[in-house]
Amino acid sequence: MKPIRYRTELKRFDDFPMHYLTIPPKVVSALGGKFRARLLCSIKGTKKFHCGLNPLGNGEGYLTISRNRLKDLGLTPGESVALELELDSSKYGIPMPPEFREVLKQDPAGKARFAQLTPGKQRSMLHYVGGTTNVDRRIERSLRVITNLKALASGKETLTAIFGKSAGPSAGSGRW
């Protein structure tokens, strides 16, 4: 499938502190017509990044845009931006950190437990492990999440328990 290119406006939800880009119904249809699809996205011709197609209503979809990405691209709400989308055919919809791949290679039981998780939990684990540029920290996170995952009963895997946190993100930070 060829990438789909069009212009759209950067918006912000009225009652939620999140920025997003709308995807019109004809583009949703061209992407297979299914929400929750994983996509590769490029804004203003930048390097592609992994994202998910979410339902907005009336056949429209949207993609969320992080504060960091807004800042990096110098985007402001109301701005019209060039968007390029294509279906993401990768296994997890996000890159697997090499440190995590190595832990799975060396731990068949951990690999089996990881394979039993929902795709969303798998992506969350990969995002958490890959969320740092420090190699030692990625190794530590990889070992911790697989150790924690193996200690949990099947069907009882929560991200809080997998990440080894007793509570959610620290107050107001939105980060683990």
Q: Report the SS3 class of residue 59.
A: coil
Whether 75 and 16 share a structural domain: yes
- Give the per-residue pLDDT at 167: 44
Are 121 and 157 in contact, with CB atoms under 8 Å apart? yes
Intervals of the chain under pLDDT 50: 167-176
Residues contacting 172, CB < 8 A, separation 6+: none
Cα-based distances in Å from 156 to 32, 34, 112 = 33, 28, 15
Q: Are residues 79 and 138 in the same domain?
A: no
Q: Note whether residue 176 is domain-resident.
A: no
Q: At what angle do helices 135-151 and 119-129 cross, to 10 degrees?
A: 150
In the listed set 66, 87, 108, which residue is the last one of a domain according to the structure? 87
Per the CB < 8 A criterion, the answer to whether 143 and 102 are in contact is: no
Residue 61's pLDDT is 95
Residue 176 pLDDT: 45
Token digits of residue 69: 């990405």
- Provide the 8-state DSSP code for 97: P
Non-local (6+) Cβ contacts of 106 within 8 A are none
Q: What is the pLDDT of residues 27-75, one digit of tens each?
A: 999 998 888 888 999 999 888 998 999 999 999 999 999 888 999 999 9
The pTM of this model reads: 0.71
If one counts the domains in the chain, the total is 2
As a whole number of angstroms, the distance between CA 141 and CA 135 comes to 10
Q: What is the pLDDT of residue 166?
A: 56
Please identify, among 32, 59, 87, the residue that sits at the C-terminal boundary of a domain. Answer: 87
**Same structural domain for residues 74 and 48?**
yes
Same domain, residue pair 80 and 126: no
Query: Containing domain of residue 8, as a range?
Result: 4-87
Same domain flag for 113 and 78:
no
Query: Within this chain, do residues 68 and 106 fall inside the same structural domain, yes or no?
Result: no
Tell me phi and psi for residue 93, to 5 degrees. Answer: 75, 15
